[in-house]
Amino acid sequence: MGNFTVDILTPAKVIAKDLPAESLLVPTVKGQINVLVDHTHIVSKLETGMVSVFGGANDADKFFSVSTGVCKVLENKIIILTNTSEEKIDIELGRAKKALEYSENMLSGSESLSEDDFIKYTRKIERAKLRIQMASFKG
Amino acid sequence: MANIKELKMKIKSTKGTLKITQAMKLVSAAKLNKAQQAITTTRPYANELNETIKAVSALVEDYSHEYLNETENKQAVLLVISSNKGLCGGYNSQLGKEVKKFVSETDLDLKVFYIGKKAKEILKNNVNSGKQFDFEGMEPTFTEMQKIGQELATMFKTGEVGKILVAYNVFQSAIEFKPTIKQLLPMSLDENEKLELQNKFPFDFKYDPNPTEILDTLIPDAFSTTLWTSLLDGLASEHGARMSSMDSAVKNCKEAIRSQTLKMNKLRQAAITTELIEVISGAESLNT
């Protein structure tokens, strides 16, 4: 079975470049999709979640968190553009827990939040929960 | 002819300048490193984002977004990204030259906005100057730049201006940059480009949930990312330009110190010789 490559790009960093993969799981707004070699061309909107890159026999499996963005599949080259992304091994469980606690406090706090702040903290909670979930996930 | 004392003073002050230029070079090198990393890591994302938008908007028919619409309005804003400080070689002047050339050739009614003070000093007599944007800290942040972007985008959306352009130095390497003027809005594709893309992708993508929603989220994102990369490009070029100009300043200082020291030593030797001759001839006259 042939392979394809995966790029994960964020505005702050190139998270992964030409990562060899045999199978890929991507969270999209309509649910998780599985991409295999010679997949049809798609452009899909991402949902906050975990991208799993399965390397097959020769390469290691890798897991990344992603937030909003798009995923483009074009001729066995998959490009994921997202605002933030982290590889599973880089996730610090303690930091994620702290962030979750902090954001939840902000949301439940007595101070009234602006609409932008509300969205910001809701997203933060989403990401923190994902990180915690990923850190405890044994892939 | 300069005397020894004057030369000594000169050498001392040149040595002071040497120390300053050496320190500035080191500082710029460190800043360049950081700025270079910022631009090289953001560029792939920005390029890919623009590619995706181009491809999708070329393939999808009947899509319109307020950022894509061409207007007849000849009013335009040109945002010039320069530095606040000088001593960076041709960084600002080359950009100024490019802008002047553009202004003299274009048929647009341009208003020039600035990031960085230096371009304003160069251009104020040649163009219709507008607002100057400042950043709070030494390092501009993405949020600050986004605000500037929103302000410009609002001007475009309300129809106050028909085009938004940006002028900046594209970072190529530590010693090389290229002054460029780029159109930010509208992000329209010309027909040739469209055809080329349609030939390149003789199929349509499958979209999830639908192309309109994807483009709706990507286009504003692309606008702020492009603006942000222009700023990062400018910053990296600035530090690169300053580093190389400080490098040549250091070389010049060293050369000046060398030649002045040589001159001073020659003068000192001449003075000693004259004194000796005077003493000897005085002694000779006593003997006779």
Structure confidence by residue, pLDDT tens digits, B100-123: 999 999 888 899 999 999 999 999
Same domain, A33 and A67: yes
Is the domain of A71 the same as that of A42? yes
Q: By CA distance, what is A75's nearest residue in B?
A: B201
Task: Report chain B residues whose CB lies below 8 A from the CB of A16.
Answer: none
Considering the domain architecture, whether residues A43 and A59 belong to the same structural domain is answered as: yes
Q: Do A14 and B41 touch (CB under 8 A)?
A: yes
Q: What is the mean pLDDT of residues B230-258?
A: 94
Domain boundary among A88, A103, A119: A88
Which of B48, B206, B217 is facing A42, going by the closest CB pair? B206
The CA distance from A105 to A110, in Å, is: 9
Percent of chain A with pLDDT over 70: 96
Q: Do B208 and A81 touch (CB under 8 A)?
A: no
CA B71 to chain centre: 30
If we measure between CA atoms, which residue out of B254, B255, B272, B277 comes closest to residue B4? B272
Regarding whether A105 and A47 lie in a shared domain, the answer is no
Residue of A nearest to B208 (CA): A44
Structural domain count of chain A:
2
Pair A28, A39 in one domain: yes
Helices (H) then strands (E): counts for chain B: 6, 6
- Asked if A75 and A97 sit in the same domain, the reply is no
Residue A89 has pLDDT above 90, yes or no: no
The CATH number for A63's domain is 2.60.15.10
Question: What is the span of the domain harbouring residue A100?
Answer: 91-135
> CB of A76 within 8 Å of any CB in chain B?
no
Q: Which of A30, A26, A32 is nearest to A6 (CA)?
A: A26
- Residues A33, A72, single domain; the answer is yes
Going by C-alpha positions, the residue among B40, B2, B57, B11 that lies closest to residue B258 is: B11
Instruction: Please give the pLDDT value at position A81.
Output: 93
pLDDT (tens digit per residue) in A18-38: 888 999 999 998 889 999 988
Domain limit, last residue, from A88, A104, A126: A88
- pLDDT per residue over B254-265, tens digit each? 999 999 999 999
Q: Does residue A69 sit in the same domain as residue A104?
A: no
Write down the residue that tokens 């040739």 correspond to: B192
Mean pLDDT throughout A88-99? 85
The reported pLDDT for the residue numbered B1 is 53
**Candidates A17, A30, A79; nearest CB to B209:** A30
Pick from B46, B205, B213: CB nearest A45: B213
* Residue A61 at interface with chain B, using a CB cutoff of 8 Å: no
**Beta carbons of A42 and B201 less than 8 Å apart:** no
Q: Are residues A21 and A84 in the same domain?
A: yes
The CATH code of the domain that includes A126 is 1.20.5
Contact A43 B228 (CB under 8 A): no
* Residue numbers in A near B225 (CB within 8 A): 11
B66 to B55, B184, B219, B269: CA distances (angstroms): 18, 13, 10, 79
Do residues A9 and A76 share a domain? yes
pLDDT at res. B179: 94
Is the model's pLDDT at A117 over the cut of 90? no
Burial B62-82 (b: 16+ CB within 10 A, else e): eeebebbeeeeeeebbbbbbb
Q: Determine whether the interchain pair A70/B218 forms a contact, defined as Cβ–Cβ distance below 8 Å.
A: yes
The verdict on a CB contact (< 8 Å) between B41 and A13 is: yes
Q: Assess contact for B155 and B170: CB atoms under 8 A.
A: no
Q: Between chains, do B45 and A14 touch, taking CB under 8 Å as contact?
A: yes
Same domain assignment for residues A43 and A10: yes
For the segment B6-35, the average pLDDT, to the nearest whole number, is: 94
- Alpha helices by DSSP H, listed for B163-210, are 191-200
- The C-alpha atoms of residue B13 and residue B29 are separated, in whole angstroms, by 24
- Residue B266: pLDDT band with limits 50, 70, 90: very high
Taking all residues of chain B, what is their mean pLDDT, rounded to a whole number? 89
Query: Does A18 share its domain with A64?
Result: yes
Task: Return the pLDDT at A139.
Answer: 60
Specify the DSSP element, H or E, that contains A99. helix A93-108
